[in-house]
Amino acid sequence: MKDIYLDIQPIWSKKKTGIGWYTYKIVERLVENNKNNYIGGLFNPCGIRKVDKVKNLKYKEIKYFWPYFNYCGVFNKKFFKWKFLSFNFITKTNCDIYHFFNFVIPDKINGKIIITIHDTIHKVMPENINFDIEEFEKQIKKSLEKSNVIVTVSNSAKEDIIKYYGKKYENKIKIVEPGVDLDKYKQEFSAKYTKEILYKLGIKENDEFMFTIGTLQKRKNILNIIKAFNKYKENNSKLKLIIAGNPGDNYQEIINEYNNSKYKNDIKILNYISEEEKIILYRNTKIFIFPSLYEGFGMPIVEAMATGVPVITSNISSMPEVLGDAGILVNPYSIEEISKAIEKYDTNEKLRKESVEKGYIQCQKFTWENSAKKLEKIYKEM
């Protein structure tokens, strides 16, 4: 067994999204498998937040007071200053391997280093970044250079790292995809409870709806979803649109598009929803739509397949390798193409059933057990 330090800062977020859940779930499975001795570390300024800790993981929670703490966790110079406080502890430990799930590493370390990079959004869509890219670049280049292994989440993400940072890192890069709790997404809820949750979310019992989830930002292409929905609604469809996610960089544009839609009564914009609410929405939606402009992986695609929902997603970035042949791929920049894909699923029950069957098969490739085994193999070989 090896002694492995896990820097699990991404789980600190109160409302975890993709990277937070990836870190939490894969660490949870690593600890359950008990193949190594793990210690988890994170920085919790002043102990202000009750952290959703992984069961049975030994923790070192650093609670220094830092007056310049950036509550939003945005990447800037202040972020890196308080991040380095936790490194005072790390540099005093004596582990075989140090795994940093958010890629920021200390200048000096006693063991081998592994970092996880989920995407290169700051390179692909820099105009949508709200953090200090110069400082971010400085840190990521240092981490790439000093690490022994670079973990990423898809072939597409691997290709992007090589494209933007050089072929010299190719042999360092290993792919560990996210997983999905298949049993969790297959769980049944009573008709009464389902009705109560849907009512709480503003959805009537017999509503037929299309669902999307993700931060309300340009990258998630919410504007084109609404525009394509508006176009399709001209066919007198009864379909409704449910959008769930925290406000992001072009939130106001999305709200303006929603307000200007003559079908706004058939569109519902929710903010952050619980895991249970998300599963109930998946289980009751007719179509899941996710024409993102860029993803390191695209976890909602797998979640939708696991719950038995036909998927529309983009034909670019990582999304084709995640979906396989289990749904409809579209040009995310084409409102016409997205609208036609909606029509195909809305009007063709046979096609929906075929996609659901293929989706069940495809999602079996992505489990947290598989993810943990791949990571354990990497640890063993280091």
Radius of gyration of the chain (CA): 21
Does residue 126 sit in the same domain as residue 228?
A: no
Does residue 49 sit in the same domain as residue 163?
A: yes
Take residue 375 and report the two structure tokens written for it: 């990571």
Three-state secondary structure call for residue 59: strand
With tokens 């990277």, the residue in question is 19
Measured CA to CA, the distance from residue 322 to residue 255 in angstroms comes to: 30
Does residue 206 sit in the same domain as residue 151?
A: no
Torsion angles phi and psi, residue 124, rounded to 5: -70, -45
Does residue 88 sit in the same domain as residue 46?
A: yes
Contact yes or no for 132/76 (Cβ under 8 A): yes
Does residue 187 sit in the same domain as residue 308?
A: yes
Contact yes or no for 260/233 (Cβ under 8 A): no
In this prediction, residue 320 has a pLDDT band, given cuts at 50, 70 and 90, of very high
Instruction: Please return the burial class of 375, using the count of CB atoms within 10 Å of its CB with bins 0-12, 13-18 and 19+.
Output: buried
Does residue 159 sit in the same domain as residue 170?
A: yes
Q: What pLDDT sits at residue 65?
A: 44
315 has which bridge partners? none
pLDDT digits 0-9 by tens, 64-83 = 544 434 433 444 455 555 45
Does residue 106 sit in the same domain as residue 189?
A: no
Q: State the greatest distance between any 2 C-alpha atoms of the chain, in Å, as a whole number.
A: 66
Domain count, the chain: 2
Contact yes or no for 148/172 (Cβ under 8 A): yes
Domain membership of residue 303 as a residue range:
182-363
Measured CA to CA, the distance from residue 25 to residue 22 in angstroms comes to: 5
Percent of the chain with pLDDT over 90: 69
Measured CA to CA, the distance from residue 222 to residue 316 in angstroms comes to: 16
Take residue 351 and report the two structure tokens written for it: 């096609």
In this prediction, residue 132 has a pLDDT band, given cuts at 50, 70 and 90, of confident
Indicate which CATH number applies to the domain containing 92.
3.40.50.2000
pLDDT digits 0-9 by tens, 6-60 = 988 777 666 666 788 899 999 999 999 999 999 888 765 544 456 677 888 887 6
Element (H, E) at 42: strand 37-43
Per-residue DSSP letter, 107: S
Does residue 19 sit in the same domain as residue 61?
A: yes
Q: What pLDDT sits at residue 258?
A: 97
In this prediction, residue 127 has a pLDDT band, given cuts at 50, 70 and 90, of confident
pLDDT digits 0-9 by tens, 176-213 = 999 999 999 988 899 999 999 999 999 998 999 999 99
Measured CA to CA, the distance from residue 365 to residue 152 in angstroms comes to: 16
Nearest of 186, 153, 201, 204 to residue 317 by alpha carbon: 153
Does residue 303 sit in the same domain as residue 268?
A: yes
Does residue 35 sit in the same domain as residue 158?
A: yes
Q: What pLDDT sits at residue 80?
A: 53
Contact yes or no for 250/223 (Cβ under 8 A): yes
Take residue 221 and report the two structure tokens written for it: 């292409």
Which amino acid, 31? V
Take residue 239 and report the two structure tokens written for it: 């379909």
Mean pLDDT of 82-101: 73
Does residue 152 sit in the same domain as residue 250?
A: no
Does residue 372 sit in the same domain as residue 347?
A: no
pLDDT digits 0-9 by tens, 274-312 = 999 999 999 999 999 999 999 999 999 999 999 999 999
